[in-house]
Amino acid sequence: MAKQVVILGVQGERTDAAVARYRELAAEMGNDAEIVFVDQAQSEEDVIAQCQDAVAIIPGGRALTTDMISKMPNLQLVQVTSAGTDWIDKPAVYELGVNVANNGGGNRVAVSEHTITLMVAAYRRLEHQLRTARAGKWLGEAVMPGSPEDYHTLEEKTVGIVGLGRIGQAVAKRLRGWDCELVYHDVIDIEPEVEEQLNVTKLPFDELLAVSDVVTLHVPLEPTTKGMMSTREFGLMKKTAMLINACRGPVVDEAALVQALRDGEIAGAGLDVLEQEPTPVDNPLFEFDNVIVTPHLASRAIESMYTSTEFAIANVSRVARGEDPTSIVLPV
């Protein structure tokens, strides 16, 4: 008998197309998963009632709560299609005997490419350049803030990668052709062959901050990483250094970042994520010519969607067959 896998979402053309794709992939894999769509716009009671037989759920957005999960007796896996699972109370969910899995790095290419885009944009003050062009000003130092020394290339710069997981490794791999020196910090031991392949050197966190020209963050948002970049950390960085954040906004103490920028503790930042999203239009970060902000769309690419969807179906299919899922995110 086919095991039920529920796709949670809001009824609409995009959701219908996504569900059709899930069913198509499941059929191609020839597994025993029965793909069922449940409209999360219904009441929680109705959603729970329709998920009683589900062994796995692929939630759309953040509509699935721990209380709801506790009332689904057959549930074994919550499979998200993003890298982040910070919105799930994983210790509580694991107490219920339910695993949580992310997208297995399905967005690593898009996010790593966007990360390097933010590096270049911050180093070349692209935000100011765009404002200047829209104002009809063209060429010449007269319309450039600061001095020529404020504009840099990545060549021969030291890039510090905080978190050498799937996305961090993808960033390192792509930067090999940019003639950068790569250092990293991670709480997990990375295999020596991976370090050699990527030509990266592990450093203690504080030393990485001190020597890096660019610090790029690729850690999950957990209690141990929330606010890991704050006043002390900015004080350790070079005054010429750039901060890049394409993981989760609360990893950075935003008030401390604003103060560091105002005090010249660091030279600028490239941010795809902020503490509050959507962020207020009067966020002081928008005032800086040396900061570029994008609206948490680093992973937005059709290739990411396809890869993450394929991974999700493959993983829930393992559960439907009675096998163990992969890419499990453990509680911290």
Indicate the number of domains in the chain: 2
152 found inside a domain: yes
Same domain, 146 and 51: no
Question: Active-site residue 248, yes or no?
Answer: yes
Same domain membership, residue 202 and residue 280: yes
Exposed e or buried b per residue across 61-81, where buried means at least 16 C-beta atoms within 10 angstroms of its C-beta: eeebbeebbebbeebbbbbbb
The one catalytic residue among 24, 277, 287, 303: 277
In a domain, 50, yes or no: yes
**d(C-alpha 242, C-alpha 258), whole Å:** 13
Q: What does the DSSP assignment read for 105-127?
A: TTTHHHHHHHHHHHHHHHHTTHH
Q: Say whether both 164 and 264 belong to one domain.
A: yes
Residues 148 and 278 in one domain: yes
332, part of any domain: no
Q: What is the pTM of this model?
A: 0.91
Looking at the structure, tell me whether residues 93 and 164 fall in a common domain: no
Q: How many residues in total does the chain contain?
A: 332
What does the pLDDT read at residue 232?
98
The vertex-304 CA angle with 175 and 106, nearest 5°, equals: 75
Same structural domain for residues 32 and 42?
yes
116 and 210 in one domain?
Answer: yes
Residues 6+ apart with CB under 8 A from 258: 284, 285
**Same domain (yes/no): 192, 220:** yes
Which residue in 21, 174, 296, 300 is the catalytic one?
A: 296
Q: Are residues 221 and 81 in the same domain?
A: no
Do residue 119 and residue 24 come from a single domain? no
Give domain status of residue 325, yes or no: no
HEC per residue, 32-95:
CEEEEEEECCCCHHHHHHHCCCEEEEECCCCCCCHHHHHCCCCCCEEECCCCCCCCCCHHHHHH
Amino acid identity of residue 38, one-letter, is V
Vertex 51, ends 48 and 57: CA angle to 5°?
Answer: 115
**CA–CA separation, 293 and 204 (whole Å):** 28
Identify whether residues 124 and 256 lie together within a single domain. yes
Q: Is residue 87 part of a domain?
A: yes
**Token pair 């039920």: residue:** 4
- Nearest by Cα to 304 from 198, 170, 159: 170
166 classed as catalytic: no
The one-character DSSP state at 156 is T
Per-residue pLDDT 10s for the chain (332 aa) are 578 999 888 878 778 888 888 888 888 877 678 899 999 999 999 999 999 999 999 998 888 999 999 999 999 999 999 999 999 999 999 999 999 999 999 999 999 999 999 999 999 999 888 888 888 888 876 677 667 788 899 999 999 999 999 999 999 999 999 999 999 999 999 999 999 999 999 999 999 999 999 999 999 999 999 999 999 999 999 999 999 999 999 999 999 999 999 999 999 999 999 999 999 999 999 999 899 999 999 999 999 989 999 999 999 999 998 999 999 998 87
Query: Does residue 327 form part of some domain?
Result: no
> Is 277 known to be catalytic?
yes
CATH number, residue 36 = 3.40.50.720
Cα–Cα dist 76/91, whole Å: 14
User: Taking every pair of C-alpha atoms in the chain, what is the biggest distance, in angstroms?
Assistant: 73
Nearest to 182 by CA among 134, 119, 224: 119
Among 233, 248, 254, 310, the one annotated catalytic? 248
Q: Which domain holds residue 237?
A: 108-293
Bond from prior residue into 278 cis (ω within 30 degrees of 0): yes
Assigned domain for 20 exists: yes
Report the DSSP pairing between strands 99-101 and 200-202: unpaired
Q: Is residue 189 part of a domain?
A: yes
Say if residue 143 is in the same domain as residue 22: no
- Smallest CA-to-CA distance from 35 within 54, 50, 17 is with 54
